[in-house]
Chains A and B, each alone.
Chain A
Amino acid sequence: SQELEQSPQSLIVQEGKNLTINCTSSKTLYGLYWYKQKYGEGLIFLMMLQKGGEEKSHEKITAKLDEKKQQSSLHITASQPSHAGIYLCGADIVGTASKLTFGTGTRLQVTL
């Protein structure tokens, strides 16, 4: 079974709407990383969360890690076309950033 589950698999939102992407692990995590990928391109690092209950924001994107360190959410406020892409969560389940397990990704489309 997949160690890291992302939901939803795909999402279509109207520009200006808010959205949330979830990432759930069956194991307690040492760290949770969020990346964004445009089709056929590399991954752009967004944020890393390490502490239970931690929350970080950058521009209109907020990521949270629950107290148990098994679930994270990525929230985008007032979405824009530039937010479109594939969002991937990566989990450090070993204790270093040496081995990241990735979720299946969430494909986001933002319509005008």
Chain B
Amino acid sequence: GAVVSQHPSWVICKSGTSVKIECRSLDFQATTMFWYRQFPKQSLMLMATSNEGSKATYEQGVEKDKFLINHASLTLSTLTVTSAHPEDSSFYICSARDPSGGVDTQYFGPGTRLTVL
């Protein structure tokens, strides 16, 4: 299947700082990428849909000024957690949609564990 990478795999930061997480599709072009958040022992919660060259679409209840998404190229989307607080600590997973090859599905990155002190 298609490969999606995330960087960094984990990050620890102080409260009030901003953190940027990168999501890359390595072997295909992704016009659409997605950002999810996962709490311990819970399922994935879709935060936003990132479209190349346009503004991201945020799910209800997700603060767009808090979670800045940029999809500047067909292979890269970034999520910036601004003024992070301990409650933002979570596992963030991105995915990229690959409609080619006859299977229209999302391929997921390995995730980024964010800890805010």
State A43–B108 Cα separation when bound (angstroms).
Answer: 5
Inside 8 A of B41's CB, which chain A residues have their CB? 107
Inside 8 A of B28's CB, which chain A residues have their CB? none
Nearest chain A CB to B69 CB, angstrom units:
15
Report which of B44, B91, B97, B105 forms a contact with A88, defined as CB distance below 8 A. Answer: B44
* Cβ-closest chain A residue relative to B112: A42
- Chain B positions within 8 Å of A, measured between CB atoms, are 1, 4, 6, 32, 34, 41-44, 46, 49, 91, 93, 95, 97, 99, 103-111, 113
- Chain A positions within 8 Å of B, measured between CB atoms, are 31, 33, 35, 40-45, 48, 88, 90, 96-105, 107
Nearest chain B CB to A9 CB, angstrom units:
9
* B1 & A45 in contact (Cβ 8 Å cutoff): yes
* Cβ-closest chain A residue relative to B10: A40
Using A42-B6, A97-B105 as known contacts, say yes or no to A88 and B110 having CB atoms under 8 A apart: no
* A41 & B43 in contact (Cβ 8 Å cutoff): no
State A53–B99 Cα separation when bound (angstroms).
Answer: 23
Using A99-B46, A99-B49, A102-B43 as known contacts, say yes or no to A33 and B111 having CB atoms under 8 A apart: no
Inside 8 A of B49's CB, which chain A residues have their CB? 98-99
* B97 & A45 in contact (Cβ 8 Å cutoff): no
* B42 & A104 in contact (Cβ 8 Å cutoff): yes
* A104 & B109 in contact (Cβ 8 Å cutoff): no
Inside 8 A of B113's CB, which chain A residues have their CB? 40
* A41 & B110 in contact (Cβ 8 Å cutoff): yes
